[in-house]
Amino acid sequence: MADFFGGKMTEEKITPKDYLSGLKPIWCPGCGDFAVLNAVAKAMATMELKKENVAVVSGIGCSSRLPGYLSTYGFNSIHGRALPIAAGLKLSRPDLTVLAVGGDGDIFSIGGNHLPHIARRNIDVKCIVMDNGIYGLTKGQVSPTTPLGEKTVTTTYGSIEDPIQPLKLLLSYEASFVAQSTSLDLNHMVSTIVAAMKHKGFAFVNVRSPCVTYRGKEQYDVIRQRSKYIDKEPDYDPADMRKAWHHAITPEYISLGILYQKPRDTYDERQLRLREAAKAGREWTLEDVMKGFIK
Ligand code: SF4
């Protein structure tokens, strides 16, 4: 039931549609990012998050348009800077659920220097990468995850670079939650994002999200043929770092699921404790602080 202004009366259950802004996405038909948008909206509805308590930060790229298609707070920022902006927001507003979203070029290349620090500090931000192995927005240049030998507009004889392996990278950075999903399986993506949002601390979800325009339909075929759900393994244990490494580096299949999850203290919590300890026993005034600088 709608109230006088078209808003919802309190007793109605929130639905994924309520998290969409109504702006029509301008992604190419068939782009994997449509599924990610739907999965994020469904995950928020599953968690029954209040829109005003969620902020989604992005950088630049096709996938970085995502915050504009949501009705939560959003910030389409500058190239490669989604993570530090999301971190700053979370530390100043710990009550918010903060997501950082973007593509492989934005997060692993231009913004790659931010990943190890947010991961080791374990700041409570959820990072979702739409990994298609190409710079789509700028018309198909080689990206950090483009496979060796792949032809792009800047590697017309095939790429001679070894690609970054995101899962391996995040495990070595000691991220407390590392997972992979794909646009080809919406339900799996929703449950993975829900798990990431429930996790206390930094959570990284790499989504294999095909770019049909510059990488063709074969990206869909590769994911379909080579994917394996690791949580269906009889000895599955996401707290086992050794097994996580195996799933991250194996050339035999594309691992889908939560590879590693081990909660630990977050930077957010430590910062709060530090503030409390600094305040304890003493009332600080501006004059006290200034005395430390002015002799
Ligand atoms: Fe998606 Fe590729 Fe089109 Fe960009 S260029 S919207 S990544 S299909």
User: CA-CA distance, 282 to 277, in Å (whole number)?
Assistant: 10
Q: How far is the CA of 27 from the centre of ligand 1 (A)?
A: 6
- Which atom of ligand 1 is least distant from the CA of 30? 8
Distance 203 CA to ligand 1 centre (A): 25
Q: How many CA atoms lie within 13 A of 147 on its CB side?
A: 8
Q: Which conformational region is residue 48 in: left (phi greater than 0), alpha (psi within -120 to 50 degrees), or beta?
A: left
Nearest residue CA, atom 3 of ligand 1?
28
Distance separating alpha carbons of residues 260 and 22, to the nearest angstrom:
35
Total Cβ atoms within 10 A of residue 282: 8
Q: What pTM does this model have?
A: 0.92
- Where is 179: in which H helix or E strand? strand 177-182
pLDDT of residue 41: 98
Tokens (6 digits) for 250:
């194996």
As a residue count, the chain comes to 295
Low-confidence residues of the chain: pLDDT under 50: 1-6
The pLDDT score that the predictor gives to residue 8 is 53
pLDDT tens string 90-148: 999 999 999 999 999 999 999 999 999 999 999 999 999 999 999 999 999 999 999 99
- List alpha helices for the chain, DSSP H: 33-46, 82-92, 104, 115-121, 166-172, 186-198, 218-226, 241-249, 267-279, 286-291
185 in Cβ contact with 256 (< 8 Å): yes
Residues with C-beta less than 6 Å from any ligand 1 atom: 27-28, 31, 33, 62, 132, 136-137, 211-214
Residue 91: what pLDDT?
96
* pLDDT at residue 283 in the model: 74
**Candidates 213, 218, 219, 220: which one to mutate for ligand 1, based on the most atoms within 8 Å of Cβ?**
213
What's the pLDDT tens digit per position in 276-287?
888 886 777 888
